[in-house]
Structure 1
Amino acid sequence: MQKIIPAILLTISTLLPYNLTVAQSKSAIPAEAQKAAKNVRPKTIEAHMRYLADDKLAGRKPGTPGYDLAAQYVEKQFIALGFKPGVATPGGATAGGQNGTFRQAVPLRKAQVREEGSSLVMIRGGQAKGLTYGKHFIFSPNFGKPISEVTAPVVFVGFGVSAPELGYDDYAKIDVQGKIVACFNGAPATFPSNQRAYSGSAKAEVAAARGAVGLITFSLPTDVRARIEANAPRNRQATYRWTDAKGQAQRTFPQLAVVASLGDSTARLMFDKAPKTFDEVRKAANLGQAQAFPLPVSFRAKTQTDLADGLVGENIVGLLPGSDPKLKDEYVVYVSHLDHLGVTPDRRTDPVKIAGTSADSINNGAHDNASGVAINLETARLLASLPKAPRRSILFVAVTGEEMGLLGSDYFASNPTVPKASIVANLCLDMPFFFHPLLDIVPYGSEHSSMKGAVESAAQFVGVQIAKDPIPEQAVFMRSDHFSFVRQGIPAIYIKSGSTTGDDRDGTKLNLDWRATIYHTPQDDMNQPFDWSAAARHVQLQFLIGYLTAQADIRPVWNQGDFFGTKFGPLTKGR
């Protein structure tokens, strides 16, 4: 990969300003904010990215020296901008106090299924059939105990979704107490994209809440990506969860003694002599029809899990105090994940030979997500350059463990360094995609709250159009750190580039091709054809949306009757 010269703290004043052309509008954006937005510096964004994606950081995996170098770099940028530490020391100052620190520790638990000690047996009519790990089934680890065993009958519950607010509930007419529930992956295609993504991810939570003792999922025949054959390598890797002050792993459901994925042919066996055939339930699922009935099988399952505590990730938190005597106690939070995948173990070679090559084992994570951190750092510079700080305080958080499952952002949103009820909004940036001019944007989440107004004002000023999600099947709304804030009842948005390129290229195809060939590989380095003017426009949008939110008299609110606002709000309830 491209070898970068040793980086030192950027002396921002030495970088020439770049007055990016913006659309002239009659918006209510104050003159000082307009001036700051026009002073964005693409070279600064590039410099941040070049350091964070350097080989010497070895892919920024949490718990490694490379991640610590990245954390030190972000700290130095905060200090240079005059930001205060955003984390209180025990018994010390409040968040942002002079005696605080920029680092929030995130305790993590590692869990990995021990295949040789795990088993799944299908029982039908008194006859037991042992299944093969990796071929017929794969287990998820149990974060609560090293040995988990259960024998129970199986109940089919459609998609395993309970969403009465959307007129759909697979559990409405069946009791699953003490049963193993079996269901399709995903959610009804009739659901709106974001609601469908959430519902498809909440199966374990729903099953546990209704008293089930196990969960078995399998894919629709058309959903090739969800099959265990496609996911076996990834699913066999260790997984992580953050732990609370009592050492309990979070976002886990210990009452589910088994959580398994079945291969297609094995799933079909469950429906032999069932009230409905596999093809009948498949057709009903495709029509969005709720369904549930007992299956003529039981399962005997044993999951052996290797558990390890001791890994501690770190979020880096910087504070720009607000200027309004009352509103300064409310916070707008910018977040971007600092971590990436580290070094690919099965491709590791001599580190001396690694440096400077394009086929090495280092997952540099230039776009994912050195780009988001770099853009947010430049956004922080613009906010700090204002003659008067915004009325509300601003927190910038570079989070850890996103690649492990949004762990750092979920920890921060669940255990914020300021009162949770005082966080009014979140802006996330992750792989914004600036490989072509930024002419339109997809502001994920803006349709759910009053933040839509700030997005529209910023887009008008910058001169970009607002587009619909071109790839709803990718479930983008669920796949980055803003969703950790949504879970806590906090309105959040996540902006990515749209598909318009200004030439004969198809932006959606570019995006999908990148995901298919570069995403999560060592090729995500600084040799890619980044459009730095497009990156600068992302800065302007981040700056203006956050600024307008921080200046407003009224904090953002969820839209009346919104699915996520109803499920996770109001804010004071938390999650």
Structure 2
Amino acid sequence: MRVNALARRALPTVLGTTLFSLAVMAQSGTPAIPAEAQKAAKTVRPEAIEAHMRHLSDDKLQGRKPGTPGYELAAQYVENQFKQLGFTPVGKSYRQAVPLRRAQVVEEGSSMSLTRRSADGLDGPAQTLTYGRNFILSPQFGRATSEVSAPVVFVGFGVSAPELGYDDYANIDVRGKIVACFNGAPASFPSNQRAYSGSAKQEVAAARGAVGIITFSLPTDMRARIESNAPRNRLPTYRWVDPKGQAQRTYPQLKVIASMGDSTARTLFAGAEKTFDQARIAATQSKPQAFPLNLSVRARTQTELNDGLVGENIVGMLPGTDPRLKDEYVVYVSHLDHLGITRPLKSAPADSINNGAHDNASGVAINLEAARLFASLPKAPRRSVLFVAVTGEEMGLLGSDYFASNPTVPKDKIVANLCLDMPFFFHPLIDIVPYGSEHSSMVGAVNAAAQFVGVQIAKDPIPEQAVFMRSDHFSFVRQGIPAIYIKSGSTTGDTRDGTKLNLDWRATVYHTPKDDMNQPFDWSAAARHVQLQFLIGYLTAQADERPVWNKGDFFGTKFGR
């Protein structure tokens, strides 16, 4: 009776995911999987995944923070695994150095004040704000001291996406001004486009000639508030630097980059053409908006800069066998780093080592086992396959962005990327969310692998988490390379709610010392992740043609070659 009841409850979910899967499959052919690849996939070893994870998340690695002895131990382990599998270095070494710049705001030397314009057009007295309570500043990577004084313009979400029928900047000139905007992006956007647009505010503001940016959260977005993130916001920030010493993914035109607390942000709208609540309502209705605020901001950011840290990516290659295609590459990535040692937990046990078992010893372990499946083939695939354990993901996707921008093989010969990060195997793997598959022809390989493994294709159950932007595959998307990032779906096969399990884990375990091997991992589910990784990459490496972006795709149009 219980089984039948569960089946009835699960039927709508199964039917929904099946129909979604069929709709996606209709867009692309599903290639056949050769017998030798099927045979290799069936030899996956759950115990090997567990062994890799136990080694990489052991206390002796002290949380694998880049630049520490613990990270070096992890790097040595991965390098030795590549050697044992017969994967070769690209060039003379398995290592790729990643030069990093550390930047931290000096609070004592930093400040912000507001000056309002009165009804008679005269400036009132300056209102000095309190650091950490009213505002937080981001460091400046190109200068030790940055100062600016400019009028403030409100620009909605700070999003310019004409291709999605939305542009907050369409009817306003922000040159020489500081822009203020809500965090996030319009709810009307598709999930992945929304995630990207919400992350690109600085880039858009700088391109429009703004000299600074202030962001603040909608009242319903508790995760983005500075009140919630003050300790993390005060940590050092890192960027990789080019041979000329220029920090990348920075916008020197923006002389102040600030986050503002909710109550302080509301006061910005005093005397403006709309109140905070009117602007909030328009934002929740996905309506573009922009208007001047009745004030100016003076800000000073003092930054302590240090270029002493060098991270390392670990790169191993299985050379291809086709005379024409062997100089093209399918690249696997998983981040090797984690947070290192932090403050002890307040509750027992008072652990301070962030072991990062799930985040992301799991992804590295699964990719290592997938690499073994490649090495076990009687003949290597036609294209070459690279496995890269990247550094600095927790610092902002730095190792993968460095590799994708400065690959150890010709960039135009990288045809596809497969990423794995926290795949979430705390329950049986019944359905998957293949982030990125809807954007390119890689959907065919995804569908073929899913059919073989016996999993359904599901939609993103947590679009508000902006997962598509939050791991290393997006570094490759930025370079115009189609990418796939697979995570478990929400179907558990029993009465548990997979989405709730995921969100609860993120709320209580994620980025804490609790993420160790004392968790209820499902090793059979982990093994299915290996099979998926292996088969998608194998089919991509074997195909006559390299993957292509779908015609008119948002990311293909923005970044594609």
TM-score normalized by the length of structure 1: 0.90
Matched, 1:103 2:65: no
**Alignment partner of 1:51 out of 51, 55, 58:** 55
**Alignment partner of 1:159 out of 149, 157, 160:** 157
Matches of 2:533 and 2:516 in 1, distance apart? Answer: 24
| Deviation of 1:223 (Å) | 1.1
* Runs of 4+ off more than 2 Å: 346-349
Is this contact kept in 2: 1:332–1:392, CA < 8 A?
A: yes
Measured on the aligned residues, the alpha-carbon RMSD in Å equals 1.2
Q: Give 1:432's aligned residue.
A: 423
**SS at structure 2 position matched to 1:427:** strand
Is this contact kept in 2: 1:323–1:390, CA < 8 A?
A: yes
**SS at structure 2 position matched to 1:240:** strand
Amino acid at match of 1:268: R
Is this contact kept in 2: 1:195–1:563, CA < 8 A?
A: yes
Matched, 1:35 2:27: no
| Deviation of 1:227 (Å) | 1.1
**SS at structure 1 position matched to 2:451:** helix
Where does 1:391-410 land on structure 2 (aligned, <5 Å)? 391-410=382-401
Matches of 2:259 and 2:371 in 1, distance apart? Answer: 43
Matches of 2:126 and 2:133 in 1, distance apart? Answer: 18
Matched, 1:217 2:215: yes
**SS at structure 2 position matched to 1:241:** strand
Q: Give 2:126's aligned residue.
A: 128
Structure 1 alignment gaps of length 5 or more: 1-25, 89-99, 350-356, 571-575
**SS at structure 2 position matched to 1:411:** helix
Is this contact kept in 2: 1:170–1:290, CA < 8 A?
A: yes
Matched, 1:251 2:242: no
Q: Give 2:142's aligned residue.
A: 144
**Alignment partner of 1:470 out of 453, 461, 472:** 461
Is this contact kept in 2: 1:359–1:523, CA < 8 A?
A: no
Is this contact kept in 1: 2:345–2:513, CA < 8 A?
A: no
Amino acid at match of 1:347: P
Where does 1:447-466 land on structure 2 (aligned, <5 Å)? 447-466=438-457
Q: Structure 1, residues 161-213: CA drift from partner, whole Å, max 9, x if none?
A: 00000000011111111000011111100000100010000000000001100
Is this contact kept in 2: 1:439–1:502, CA < 8 A?
A: yes
Matches of 1:532 and 1:65 in 2, distance apart? Answer: 29
Is this contact kept in 2: 1:27–1:461, CA < 8 A?
A: no
| Deviation of 1:347 (Å) | 2.5
| Deviation of 1:359 (Å) | 3.4
Q: Give 1:19's aligned residue.
A: none
Amino acid at match of 1:478: M
Q: Structure 1, residues 101-154: CA drift from partner, whole Å, max 9, x if none?
A: 000000000000000100001011322100000111000000010100000001
Matched pairs, number: 525
TM-score normalized by the length of structure 2: 0.93
Matches of 1:198 and 1:358 in 2, distance apart? Answer: 39
Q: Give 1:347's aligned residue.
A: 344
Q: Give 1:8's aligned residue.
A: none
Matches of 1:225 and 1:532 in 2, distance apart? Answer: 32
| Deviation of 1:45 (Å) | 0.7
**Alignment partner of 1:300 out of 274, 298, 301:** 298
Is this contact kept in 2: 1:110–1:307, CA < 8 A?
A: yes
Structure 2 alignment gaps of length 5 or more: 1-29, 118-122
| Deviation of 1:326 (Å) | 0.8
| Deviation of 1:358 (Å) | 4.6
Matched, 1:76 2:80: yes
Is this contact kept in 2: 1:440–1:498, CA < 8 A?
A: yes
| Deviation of 1:265 (Å) | 1.4
Amino acid at match of 2:70: G
Matched, 1:272 2:263: no
Q: Structure 1, residues 527-562: CA drift from partner, whole Å, max 9, x if none?
A: 111111110000000000000000000000000000
Where does 1:233-382 land on structure 2 (aligned, <5 Å)? 233-344=231-342, 346-347=343-344, 358-382=349-373
Where does 1:182-193 land on structure 2 (aligned, <5 Å)? 182-193=180-191
**SS at structure 2 position matched to 1:329:** coil
Amino acid at match of 1:542: Q
Matches of 1:348 and 1:103 in 2, distance apart? Answer: 34
Is this contact kept in 1: 2:339–2:394, CA < 8 A?
A: yes
**SS at structure 1 position matched to 2:252:** coil
Q: Give 1:492's aligned residue.
A: 483
**SS at structure 1 position matched to 2:326:** helix
| Deviation of 1:276 (Å) | 1.1
| Deviation of 1:502 (Å) | 1.0
Matches of 1:286 and 1:56 in 2, distance apart? Answer: 48
Amino acid at match of 2:326: K
| Deviation of 1:348 (Å) | 9.3
Q: Structure 1, residues 453-509: CA drift from partner, whole Å, max 9, x if none?
A: 000000001101111111111100000000000000000010001111111111111
Matched, 1:515 2:506: yes
Matches of 2:409 and 2:312 in 1, distance apart? Answer: 17
